[in-house]
Amino acid sequence: MLASLNQKQLSAVTHNNGSMLVLAGAGSGKTKVLTTRIVWLINEQNLKEHEVLAVTFSNKAAKEMLHRVSSKLSITARSMWIGTFHSISLRLLTKHHKEAGLPAYFQILDVQDQLSLLKRIIKAANLDEDHYSSRELQKFINHQKEHGLRANQITPNGMRQQTWLDLYLEYELICNRDGLVDFTELLLRSYEMLSVNKDVLDIYRNQFKHILVDEFQDTNHLQYQWLKLLGSSCGNMFAVGDDDQSIYSFRGARVANMQTFLHDFSVNDPIRMEQNYRSTPNILSAANAIIDKNNERIGKTLWTQKSDGDKISLYEGYTEEDEAYFVTDEIKSLLASGKSTSSIAILYRSNAQSRIFEQLFYSEGVPYKVYGGLRFFDRQEVKHILSYLRLILNKNDNEAFLRVVNVPARGLGSKAIENLQNIAKEKNTSLFEACNLSDGKAGINLAKFTNIIQKIDQKHLSLPDLISLVVEESGVAEMYRLDKKNGAERLENLNELVSAATNFKAEDEVNNNLATFLSHAVLESGEGQAQMYEQPVQLMTVHAAKGLEFDTVFIVGLEDGLFPHENCFDSQQNLEEERRLMYVAITRACKKLYLLRACSRLMWGKRISAPVSRFVNEIPNELILNISGISKIGCSSLVDSDIDLHHLTPTEVSNPETKISRVTLANCDEIIKIGDMVKHAKFGNGKVLRLNIDGKKITAEIFFIGIGKKNLDLNIAKIEKV
DNA sequence: AATTCTATCATTTTT
DNA sequence: TGATAGAATT
């Protein structure tokens, strides 16, 4: 087991006295070290499974670790304490909900739920959303919680903050009243529960002999305190991190925790793992060159024993379409050349960039899979049903009540709900109970609603059966059957929800299945995260790609303003984080790396021109091969010369009304499309900028090198692809 | 109260 | 550009 480790890895795995910080570069075998160490602790140091606590940030990482460990040890996965900060906190809170001051069936609020509750609070306080936006309030509250601060522990600084504190206080009251816990609250509540209840704290301090933390550079203040509380007494804290891959400071991650850790846990000599087993030297050199531009680094340099490999390919397209077509063609030829087993990923800065690739891959028959974007458990139809379930579990859950009381429409408009809220306030009851006190038409309709809930509640069904029943009895199914737009798709998703429930194995049989399922739905809402070595082309953001590797990687949208994103131009620190993001992107590639950018791109409905990303310029020239046809004439000069690249949409020839992006030539069976390099007998080589159909006349606007723009009739002009 | 229309926001990233 | 929330209309 230990034989396959290098010197650094071995000393990390078998580190045996006190705490340790491992600086693990990209591709240096971090996960291997963590999992091998857990196995080593149990096998060689005779620790019991439950005496090891391993914390990660993502569900994916937790699953991977659990999988690798349980394949080497004959243990039951559930006996191990491996999970995300949030899931471990949930586990603690579920077990000790009384000490934490929570009802047994407390529920988790996701970001959306939290925001809509805050909106309602702001409205109820008669404040103007323009001046006190719910998003800002959400940020404020989460930030305070991340610093361990409750509303009553903060001294307001100015009138505005006083207002926010009032709102924060109101939010706390409602959450406590209705048994709701947001993401940050999971951590803060478990931290407080342990701090206040020394006997509970002692249980876990005694139990966890070793604590391991993955992606340590991503810990925020609260998480660090949480770790310290649990781990300072055992003295065996093992943290693995890479300051160069810190890309979550926007949600409170503090790289400085790495320095603090050295001090707090008396680590004098952190272990550096700098040998990279993933990428070719060319790729590594590019990554090193880029990250070297950052000032705030602990500092390390990756190296490899591999031999050179391909240069990095740079393609500069005219438009995002051009970019996408290039990627499609390149992937097709990669697949055709027998590399069908190789893994391919498209990485981008923002989710919105995936659309054009999806469209193109779909029409071109390239198998693909998109990660991120709208998640399964975030879809409105799924959230409706989950709210019904929440209400069945806890009738006091006013938030869930408000979401579905009039879904489908039951004649309960804003007036009716307002009245109900007044009654509830007066009698100091939940909205659900207040339904009995409501009279008139609204009262009848409300009774119908509560009857549905109660009727379902009285049957004791298995989880999948319960969900099927809710879908039907609530009338949601009928509502979507009548919805011609996308009702069918939504019904399908609800079917999938039933399947998800069928597959769901309650983590803890003792606990209520439904409650566990609901927590699971909120906490692990990801639609199955990306995998390494999957067959179809994988599309995801750079953030989502952290921790993964692919043979071939296309980084697209490398324009200044997009990547690095313009929101990050305001400070050196933000720009350095973008640079780390680029570093993460590059180091995902094992064998072949493509960098792409578009001279102009459709964004928010407008066509924007942007210069090439500064990060591309930070890579030494000798590592890059520019393979764009337009490179000779220079892309930026093209944009400046005012070529109209507007209003291009990927429409097939079959639609003559609109401008088209590809066309089959009449005189041969070649297809040419926007972005193609073509050859003309008189004008030489040029690039197709746009295609038009006007009646039977098909024209192409082509930019010929050294000549300029020409409009050619494709029925007459002889053109061939190069 | 339900339907239709309009305005606005988003597209930086996530447990 | 496209989804969604809130306004305006029926």
Question: What is the C-alpha separation between A329 and A348, in angstroms, rounded?
Answer: 18
User: pLDDT at position A462, please?
Assistant: 86
Query: Does A31 participate in catalysis according to the annotation?
Result: yes
Give the model confidence (pLDDT) of A336-377 as tens digits.
877 655 689 999 998 888 888 888 888 888 888 888 777 778
**Contact (Cβ atoms closer than 8 angstroms) between residue A611 and residue A636:** yes
Give the model confidence (pLDDT) of A72-101 as tens digits.
887 776 788 999 999 999 999 999 999 999
Closest CA to A275 of A297, A293, A301: A301
3-state secondary structure labels for all residues of A179-218: CEEEHHHHHHHHHHHHHHCHHHHHHHHHHCCEEEECCHHH
pLDDT tops 50 at residue A7: yes
Query: Does A153 participate in catalysis according to the annotation?
Result: no
User: pLDDT at position A505, please?
Assistant: 59
Give the model confidence (pLDDT) of A528-548 as tens digits.
555 655 578 888 889 988 888
**What whole-number percentage of chain A has pLDDT above 70?**
86
User: pLDDT at position A639, please?
Assistant: 33
User: pLDDT at position A616, please?
Assistant: 94
Give the model confidence (pLDDT) of A126-173 as tens digits.
887 777 888 888 889 999 999 999 999 999 888 888 988 999 999 999
* CA-to-C1' span, A179 to B12 (A): 32
Question: What is the C-alpha separation between A650 and A662, in angstroms, rounded?
Answer: 8
User: pLDDT at position A490, please?
Assistant: 82
Q: Is residue A458 classed exposed, middle or buried when 0-12, 13-18 and 19+ CB atoms within 10 A define those classes?
A: exposed
Please report, for residues A23, A58, A253, A572, A620, the alpha-carbon distance to residue A217 in angstroms, rounded to integers and kept in the order given: 10, 13, 7, 19, 28
Three-state SS for A598?
strand
pLDDT tops 60 at residue A507: no
Q: Which helix (H) or strand (E) holds A11?
A: helix A7-13
A30-68 burial, b if ≥16 CB within 10 A, otherwise e? bbbbbbbbbbbbbeeeebebebbbbbbbbbbbbbbbbeb
Please report, for residues A422, A546, A682, the alpha-carbon distance to residue A717 in angstroms, rounded to integers and kept in the order given: 76, 49, 10
User: pLDDT at position A309, please?
Assistant: 86
* CA-to-C1' span, A290 to B11 (A): 25
A656 cis-preceded (ω within 30 degrees of 0): no
Judged by C1' against the alpha carbon of A60, the nearest nucleotide is: B15
Query: Does A8 participate in catalysis according to the annotation?
Result: no
Give the model confidence (pLDDT) of A191-204 as tens digits.
999 999 999 999 99
**Predicted TM-score of the model (pTM):** 0.81
Query: Does A215 participate in catalysis according to the annotation?
Result: yes
Q: What residue type is assigned to position A546 of the chain?
A: K
Query: Does A588 participate in catalysis according to the annotation?
Result: yes
Name residues whose C-beta falls within 8 Å of residue A609's C-beta, 6 or more positions apart in sequence.
Answer: A599, A600, A601, A639
Please report, for residues A657, A659, A674, A700, the alpha-carbon distance to residue A692 in angstroms, rounded to integers and kept in the order given: 9, 5, 11, 6
**Residue A419: CB less than 7 A from any atom in strand B:** no
Q: Which of A456-470, A620-634, A694-708 has the lowest mean pLDDT?
A: A694-708
**Contact (Cβ atoms closer than 8 angstroms) between residue A593 and residue A551:** no
Confidence tier at A578 by pLDDT (50, 70, 90): very high
A671's tokens: 């297809």
Judged by C1' against the alpha carbon of A110, the nearest nucleotide is: B15
Bigger pLDDT: A425 or A715? Answer: A425
Q: What is the DSSP letter of A342?
A: S
* CA-to-C1' span, A648 to B4 (A): 31
Helix axes A221-231, A198-207, angle to 10 degrees: 80
User: pLDDT at position A623, please?
Assistant: 93
Confidence tier at A696 by pLDDT (50, 70, 90): very low
Of these residues, A56, A84, A225, A245, which one is catalytic? A245
Bigger pLDDT: A280 or A483? Answer: A280
Q: Which nucleotides of C are covered by protein (CB under 7 A)?
A: 1-2, 4, 6
Could you tell me whether strands A237-241 and A20-24 are parallel, antiparallel, or unpaired per DSSP bridges? parallel
* CA-to-C1' span, A387 to B4 (A): 27
* CA-to-C1' span, A280 to B8 (A): 47
Interval A411-416 mean pLDDT: 79
Closest CA to A332 of A368, A370, A366, A369: A366
Bigger pLDDT: A5 or A482? Answer: A5
Query: Does A120 participate in catalysis according to the annotation?
Result: no
pLDDT tops 80 at residue A674: no
pLDDT tops 80 at residue A522: yes
